[in-house]
């Protein structure tokens, strides 16, 4: 029973933060009650780390090998993780005025700028998803994000005028960002914003650091984007829940069993504003410059990297259920969508997704 209490306490804060993927605390609880008696010796020692990052928070659970205990210095590891996340923020945050990305955003138009490996890496991932999604994913939507009041400028929640929209659209387009091997340039005064891929990239970064430190069993989560490796404290694959798409959240709609995979969810049921009964999402359709309006409540993507899962979740969220699912199947992506309809919600699954939740 101690195991049950520990696990519930360990995972409880995760359900409270602004996440859309929750660990299955309740499932662990029920599972342990039903099947757990006499299995206490199959549990593993685990250590959790957490802290603030990227305007949200991170949570890490590390799990020891069966019958072994951890010998590392927890405080030292926490400091390493915090330092590494600080490095990533200093590279790609648009909330830090002198971050590498913000300096790039201020560099003269047409001038090539040598960039660090992580910044080039995340820009390349973004460009790849942009091209494959025909521009639905676009890291240059910054001016539109700001205009609609979701960016660092935090404008009041008002609907912009057509003139303002046209002006911001003219400063948008991933084709105005050119990437060379170690350098990049803006061919117009665009503003690059990595909000839709940065948390995923941060998760991959921390996971890499943990692997280099010799950890094989872990879960890393930043703001709802998750990566898992090996086994959970129960000694079996990690179970990640896709949350019900309600503003309250918290309850599980679907359980995913994952190993060595990342999962991200994009949905507008948390981050939006309302004017005259119309809901404005923080996800912008780069084709129109306006927040998306279709009936897709959330889209969950499973991928090898959290950066890809994160970016694709946003891309498919822009495309909506029909186009999004068609593209997911064409690209062989593992995708789960929750769509609003008259009676509530219905689910859509890509072909590849079936292997994770038949
Ligand atoms: P979600 O989890 O809902 O996808 P993210 O935090 O991953 O949310 O991404 C949302 C952020 O991405 C927005 O706040 C905005 O800065 C940016 N964004 C909005 N629309 C797009 C888009 N079409 N392509 C890339 N980034 C976008
Ligand atoms: Mg995203």
Mean pLDDT of all residues in 247-258? 78
- Report which of residues 26 and 124 the model is more confident about: 124
- Place 35 in a pLDDT band, splitting at 50, 70 and 90: very low
Cα dihedral 329/332/338/341 (nearest 10) = 0
Q: Which of 195, 265, 281, 289 to mutate to test the pocket of ligand 1 (most atoms within 8 A of CB)?
A: 195
- Report which of residues 186 and 275 the model is more confident about: 186
Name the strands in the sheet holding 177-179, side by side, starting at the edge strand that comes first in the sequence.
Answer: 113-114, 183-186, 177-179
Report CA torsion sign: 102, 226, 345, 322.
positive
The domain total for the chain is 2
Q: Which domain holds residue 182?
A: 92-186
**Nearest listed ligand to the Cα of residue 266:** 1
Instruction: Point out the ligand 1 atom lying closest to the alpha carbon of residue 130.
Output: 24
What pLDDT shows up at residue 1? Answer: 19
Could you tell me if 276 and 339 lie in one domain? yes
- Place 248 in a pLDDT band, splitting at 50, 70 and 90: low
Return the SS3 of 291.
strand
**Ranges 13-22, 112-121, 246-255, most confident:** 112-121
pLDDT digits (tens, 9 = 90+) for 209-235: 999 999 999 999 999 999 999 999 999
Task: Note whether 141 and 172 are within 8 A (CB).
Answer: yes
Shortest-distance Cα residue to atom 16 of ligand 1: 195
Q: Is 141 in the pocket of ligand 1 (CB under 6 A)?
A: yes
- Report which of residues 149 and 335 the model is more confident about: 335
What pLDDT shows up at residue 38? Answer: 31
Which residues, at least 6 apart from 138, have a Cβ–Cβ distance to it below 8 Å?
130, 172, 173, 174, 286
Task: Note whether 82 and 250 are within 8 A (CB).
Answer: no
Could you tell me if 71 and 140 lie in one domain? no
**Cα separation values, 138 from 235, 287, 295, Å:** 40, 10, 21
**Nearest listed ligand to the Cα of residue 55:** 1
Task: Note whether 277 and 260 are within 8 A (CB).
Answer: no
**Nearest listed ligand to the Cα of residue 268:** 1
- Report which of residues 40 and 287 the model is more confident about: 287
Could you tell me if 127 and 40 lie in one domain? no
Q: How far apart are CA 272 and CA 267, in angstroms?
A: 10
Ligand 1 centroid from CA 137, angstroms = 8
Task: Note whether 283 and 314 are within 8 A (CB).
Answer: yes
Long-range contacts of residues 62-71, Cβ cutoff 8 Å, at least 24 apart: 62/210, 62/215, 62/217, 62/218, 63/217, 63/218, 63/230, 63/231, 63/232, 63/233, 64/217, 65/216, 65/217, 66/42, 66/235, 69/45, 70/45
CATH of the domain at 104: 1.10.3980.10
Instruction: Point out the ligand 1 atom lying closest to the alpha carbon of residue 136.
Output: 23
Could you tell me if 253 and 341 lie in one domain? yes
Query: Considering the domain boundaries, does residue 209 fall inside one?
Result: no
Q: What is the mean pLDDT of the chain?
A: 85
Could you tell me if 77 and 128 lie in one domain? no
Query: Considering the domain boundaries, does residue 124 fall inside one?
Result: yes
Ligand 1 centroid from CA 330, angstroms = 23
Could you tell me if 110 and 75 lie in one domain? no
Could you tell me if 222 and 348 lie in one domain? yes
Instruction: Point out the ligand 1 atom lying closest to the alpha carbon of residue 286.
Output: 23
Mean pLDDT of all residues in 289-311? 93
CATH of the domain at 342: 3.10.520.10
**Nearest listed ligand to the Cα of residue 135:** 1
Q: How far apart are CA 257 and CA 102, in angstroms?
A: 38
Q: Which of 145, 169, 186 is the last residue of a domain?
A: 186
Shortest-distance Cα residue to atom 18 of ligand 1: 283
- Report which of residues 121 and 153 the model is more confident about: 121
Determine whether 55 is exposed, middle or buried from the number of CB atoms within 10 Å of its CB (0-12, 13-18, 19+): middle
Q: Is 225 in the pocket of ligand 1 (CB under 6 A)?
A: no
Could you tell me if 120 and 18 lie in one domain? no
What is the phi/psi pair of residue 118, to 5°?
-60, -35
Q: Is 318 in the pocket of ligand 1 (CB under 6 A)?
A: yes
Q: Is 226 in the pocket of ligand 1 (CB under 6 A)?
A: no
Q: Which of 126, 141, 196, 317 to mutate to test the pocket of ligand 1 (most atoms within 8 A of CB)?
A: 196
What pLDDT shows up at residue 295? Answer: 85
Shortest-distance Cα residue to atom 10 of ligand 1: 196
Q: How far apart are CA 80 and CA 161, in angstroms?
A: 46
CB atoms within 10 A of CB 251: 12
Instruction: Point out the ligand 1 atom lying closest to the alpha carbon of residue 200.
Output: 7
* From 116-130, 146-160, 170-184, 199-213, the region with the lowest mean pLDDT: 146-160
Q: How far apart are CA 146 and CA 139, in angstroms?
A: 13
The proportion of the chain whose per-residue pLDDT surpasses 90, expressed as a percent, equals: 67
Mean pLDDT of all residues in 116-128? 98
Shortest-distance Cα residue to atom 19 of ligand 1: 283
């Amino acid at each position: 029973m101690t195991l049950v209490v520990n696990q519930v306490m360990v995972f409880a804060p995760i359900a409270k933060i602004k996440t859309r993927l929750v660990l299955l605390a309740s499932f662990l609880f029920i599972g342990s009650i039903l099947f757990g008696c006499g299995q206490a010796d199959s549990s593993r020692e685990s250590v959790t780390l957490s802290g603030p990052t990227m305007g949200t928070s991170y949570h890490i659970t590390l799990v020891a090998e069966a019958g072994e205990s951890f010998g590392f210095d927890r405080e030292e590891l926490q400091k390493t993780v915090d330092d590494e996340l600080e490095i990533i923020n200093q590279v790609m945050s648009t909330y830090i005025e002198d971050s590498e990305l913000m300096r790039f955003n201020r560099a003269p138009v047409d001038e090539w700028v040598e960039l660090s490996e992580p910044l080039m890496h995340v820009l390349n991932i973004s460009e790849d998803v942009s091209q494959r999604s025909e521009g639905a994913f676009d890291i240059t939507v910054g001016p539109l994000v700001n205009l609609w009041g979701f960016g660092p400028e935090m404008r009041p929640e008002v609907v912009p005028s057509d003139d303002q929209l046209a002006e911001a659209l003219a400063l948008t387009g991933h084709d105005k960002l050119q990437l060379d091997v170690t350098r990049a340039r803006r061919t117009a005064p665009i503003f690059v914003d990595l909000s839709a891929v940065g948390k995923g990239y941060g998760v991959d970064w921390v996971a890499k650091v943990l692997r280099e430190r010799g950890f094989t069993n872990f879960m890393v989560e930043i703001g709802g984007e998750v990566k898992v490796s090996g086994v959970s404290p129960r000694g079996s694959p990690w179970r990640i829940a896709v949350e019900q798409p309600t503003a309250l959240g918290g309850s599980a709609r679907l359980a995913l069993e994952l190993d060595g995979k990342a999962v991200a969810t994009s949905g507008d049921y948390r981050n939006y504003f309302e004017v005259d009964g119309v809901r404005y999402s923080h996800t912008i359709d780069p084709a129109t410059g306006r927040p998306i309006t279709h009936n897709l409540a959330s889209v969950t993507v499973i991928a090898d990297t959290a950066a890809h899962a994160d970016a694709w979740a946003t891309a498919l969220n822009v495309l909506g259920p029909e186009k999004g699912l068609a593209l997911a199947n064409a690209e062989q992506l593992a995708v789960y969508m929750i769509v609003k309809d008259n009676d509530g919600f219905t689910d859509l699954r890509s072909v590849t997704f079936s292997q994770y939740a038949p």
